[in-house]
Amino acid sequence: MRLGVLDVGSNTVHLLVVDAHPGARPLPAHSHKADLRLAQLLDADGAIASEGIDSLVATVGEALQAAEDKGAEEVLSFATSAVREASNADHVLARVRAETGVDLQVLTGAEEARLTFLAARRWFGWSAGRLLLLDIGGGSLEIAYGIDEEPDAAASLPLGAGRLTHTWLQGDPPDPQDVRALRRQVRAEIARTVGEFSRFGRPDHVVATSKTFKQLSRIAGAARSNEGPYVYRGLSRTSLEEWVPKLAAMTAAERAQLPGVSAERAPQLLAGALVAEGAMDLFGVEELEVCPWALREGVILRRLDHLPVR
């Protein structure tokens, strides 16, 4: 069957259409993406501004049309931290439902972590042993650990690259004192959760998902995306520690000239790097592997698990 998954995230609204059936690897058929940056459209009361809601409604409508055009039989729609944490979330969801017919499922942070972990587990398989997963989104950092498809521990922290950039790093390039302050905040936040995971022992394999980790691994020398999903893409803590001060000294335009870095994501790459560096350091990770699958694939896989095998 052909399935669509509509991901309303803090940075983008992304429709992924796949051909899939139980027991098989979902094959991408179409991708439709719009950069809305909902997390940056919050007013002083933490509500998504009216123009942001209007843009979201229009974008969801366009994505639905694209899914219909590509023959999707079903569209799985969900929202993450930007909508989840908005003070007017109920109003936003009601507007989307009334004007598009889409009933967005708002995932909790723990659900995000568990579904992303499922995708990573299916990608790497049982031979990967105990997995530690790190995922840096626009609004939050998800962490999960386990040996099965359901993690033994999962956490979501308010350390998304977009959120932190908007809140802490206003300059271009940012003020060194602001960078230092953000570094302290990130590490203090992560340190509170380390004990929850360390009691399970050291992982056998550390994996990371998200655009942030893909871009960081690329500037550190990993293979280009056009070389396919099966090429190993790693990121070492040593390389990351070398890149953080370089990124801090660059303007957003200069970062956009780096390999694999888009102009849209360049402003928040430094914040993402600080989160990645802090997580790798505090969890004692020397190197991790970037996983091609993430939350959207996890949502698809969970849906396929509930379909009858033909």
Please report the pLDDT score of residue 309 as a whole number: 58
Number of Cβ within 10 Å of residue 198's Cβ equals 14
Residue 306: inside a domain: no
Q: How far apart are CA 253 and CA 256, in angstroms?
A: 5
Residues 60 and 208 occupy one common structural domain = no
Residue 180: inside a domain: yes
Tens digits of residue pLDDT in 29-56: 999 999 998 887 888 889 999 999 999 9
Residue 271: inside a domain: yes
Q: How far apart are CA 272 and CA 211, in angstroms?
A: 10
Q: 5 pLDDT exceeds 60?
A: yes
Which is it for the CA torsion 110, 115, 120, 125, positive or negative?
A: positive
Residues 99 and 23 occupy one common structural domain = yes
Residues 168 and 92 occupy one common structural domain = no
Query: What is Dmax (Cα atoms) for the chain?
Result: 60
Q: Where in the sequence is the domain holding 203, given as residue range(s)?
A: 109-295
Examine residue 173 and say whether the peptide bond preceding it is cis (omega within 30 degrees of 0).
Answer: yes
CATH of the domain at 168: 3.30.420.150
Please report the pLDDT score of residue 157 as a whole number: 97
**Mean pLDDT of the 75-98 span:** 96
Q: 310 pLDDT exceeds 70?
A: no
Final residue of a domain: which of 106, 135, 165? Answer: 106
**Mean pLDDT of the 196-202 span:** 95
Tens digits of residue pLDDT in 141-184: 999 999 999 999 999 999 999 999 999 999 999 999 999 999 99
Residues 129 and 266 occupy one common structural domain = yes
Tens digits of residue pLDDT in 261-308: 999 999 999 999 999 999 999 999 999 999 999 999 999 999 999 876
Residues 75 and 119 occupy one common structural domain = no
pLDDT confidence bin for 109, thresholds 50/70/90: very high
Please report the DSSP string for 17-65 in residue order: EEE--TTS--EEEEEEEEE--GGG-B-TTSPBPHHHHHHHHHHHHHHHH
**Mean pLDDT of the 204-210 span:** 97
Residues 170 and 93 occupy one common structural domain = no
Strand, helix or coil for residue 218? helix
Residue 20: inside a domain: yes
Residues 215 and 74 occupy one common structural domain = no
Final residue of a domain: which of 87, 106, 125? Answer: 106
Residue 300: inside a domain: no
Residues 85 and 167 occupy one common structural domain = no
What is the residue-averaged pLDDT of the chain?
95
Residues 94 and 115 occupy one common structural domain = no
Closest of 23, 7, 1 to residue 305, by C-alpha = 23
Query: What's the structural domain count of the chain?
Result: 2
Please report the pLDDT score of residue 273 as a whole number: 98
Residues 81 and 137 occupy one common structural domain = no
Residues 99 and 123 occupy one common structural domain = no
Final residue of a domain: which of 106, 135, 163? Answer: 106
**Mean pLDDT of the 7-13 span:** 93
Residue 131: inside a domain: yes
Residue 52: inside a domain: yes
Residue 302: inside a domain: no
Residues 35 and 124 occupy one common structural domain = no
CATH of the domain at 100: 3.30.420.40
Please report the pLDDT score of residue 22 as a whole number: 87
**Mean pLDDT of the 11-20 span:** 95
Please report the pLDDT score of residue 120 as a whole number: 98
Please report the pLDDT score of residue 38 as a whole number: 87
From residue 266, alpha-carbon distances to 22, 127, 159, 235 in Å are 38, 35, 17, 18
